[in-house]
Amino acid sequence: MAAATIEDVLAQVEKDEADKLKLITVTKELELQFDLGNLLAIDPNPPDGKAFRQQNRADFLRALARDNTQLLINQLWTLPTQRVQETVVAALPEPSTRLPREKPVPKPRAPTRWEEFAKLKGIQKKKKTNLVWDEEHKEWRRRWGYQRAKDGTKDWLIEVPGNADPNEDQFAKRMNAKKERVAKNELHRLRNLARAHKGKVPGVGLTPTSQPSKDELGKALYVAKRSTASLGRFQAKLPQEKEPKNTGKKRKFQPLLGDFGAERSKQLEILKIMDSKKPKMDVTKAVNKQMRQEDAEASAKKRKKSSKKGKGGRNRGGPKKGKGKAQPGEGRGKESRRGL
């Protein structure tokens, strides 16, 4: 019985090994095309249409995907492998299939002013360690961030300098100085972004300039007033205060999905105007044009009549014959006739 039991165990082990081998063995009429660099497998075999119609479609597609994935995994095991931290890792080859990108290739970041200055002067960037020794706590701590070394914000006592006001709050002064440093760093960051995109420095309110212009002061005043909870509704206006430019309502466009009936009628009206042989006449515009033309003709006639009247008056108002001073020829003629 012991021998029979051993044979049964061996048969059962062989059967289990065969079942496992069946799970990883997949036969295909045409071999799959593999691109291991992209973990891509292309199946040129046409699907079985009869089995697809007879079986459940989801089960058929799931079984087909499982077989192709198993062939891809079998192909991966042919690559050279190595053990890294108790994990078997395979070195993938270079991909052979060019896959399309959803987004364009990112452009290289423009250097900041400090990076340009460092490159010009030949300054090399030195890598600093993240941990430094803290003499106060006698332990290694982070250089930056939470629970950093030499953290001055945790001091419960600050010595007042000799030249400072004794009534000044040194804790508030330290916090304000930190806020100013953070704001300055943020301004430099925005300037670098503006230089990289070749645009103006984005800012809210009044940017720190030596001589702000009138428009900048007006914009700063406008932003300060609208910073309240009521958006400046109850803020009083200064005398002769004007609204800054480019702060009106933005242009509104019609929604993409809306009243289809109104949109259809509008499009049909445009097509009707385009298809008509005669252009659409604006009655108001035509009447105004005719009235202007009639007024111009009437004024031209008046000017012509007035010019004719002026010429006739000058002729009637001239000296008449036989009156006035005698001409030299006329006097001699009379004397000659008398003598005769």
Of the candidates 229, 109, 212, which has an alpha carbon nearest to the alpha carbon of residue 221?
A: 212
For residue 127, the model assigns a pLDDT of 85
Q: At what angle do helices 2-24 and 57-76 cross, to 10 degrees?
A: 100
| pTM for the predicted model, two decimal places | 0.32
Per-residue pLDDT of the chain (340 residues; tens, 9 = 90+): 444 577 776 677 776 766 666 677 888 888 899 999 989 999 999 888 888 888 888 888 888 898 899 899 889 888 988 888 888 888 899 988 888 888 888 888 888 888 899 999 999 988 888 899 988 888 999 988 888 888 877 778 888 888 888 888 888 888 888 899 888 888 888 888 877 777 665 555 455 666 777 877 877 888 788 778 787 888 888 888 877 776 666 677 777 777 778 888 888 888 887 777 666 677 888 899 999 999 999 999 988 888 877 665 555 544 454 444 444 444 444 444 444 3
The length of the chain in residues reads 340
Q: What pLDDT does residue 290 have?
A: 92
Contact criterion met (CB below 8 Å) for 56 and 64: no
Cα-based torsion angle of the residue sequence 12, 15, 20, 22 in order, rounded to the nearest 10 degrees: -170
Residues with Cβ within 8 Å of 186's Cβ and at least 6 positions away in sequence, in order, are none
Q: State the pLDDT at residue 200.
A: 61
C-alpha span between 115 and 125 (Å, rounded)? 10
Would you state the pLDDT for residue 313?
Answer: 53
CB atoms within 10 A of CB 219: 21
Q: What is the DSSP letter of 167?
A: T
Distance between CA atoms of 317 and 323, rounded to whole angstroms?
A: 13
Greatest C-alpha distance within the chain: 196
Question: How do residues 126-158 score in pLDDT, each as one tens digit?
Answer: 888 889 998 888 899 998 888 888 887 777 888
pLDDT of res. 336: 42
116, 195 contact by CB (below 8 A):
no
DSSP, collapsed to helix, strand or coil, labels residue 142 as: strand
For residue 294, how far is the Cα from the chain centroid? 56
C-alpha 209, offset from chain centre: 27
3-class state of residue 74 by DSSP: helix
Q: Which helix (H) or strand (E) element contains residue 53? A: helix 49-54
The two three-digit tokens of residue 292, written as one number: 């202007």
Tell me which H or E stretch contains 120.
Answer: helix 113-121
Query: What residue type is assigned to position 334 of the chain?
Result: K
Residue 81: both structure tokens together: 């492998």
Phi, psi of 103 (to 5 degrees): -115, 155
DSSP category for residue 169 = -
- The pLDDT value given to residue 2: 45
The C-alpha atoms of residue 28 and residue 46 are separated, in whole angstroms, by 11
Looking at residue 88, what is its pLDDT? 86
Nearby residues of 38 by Cβ (< 8 Å), 6 or more positions away: 95, 96, 97, 99
pLDDT for residue 280: 66
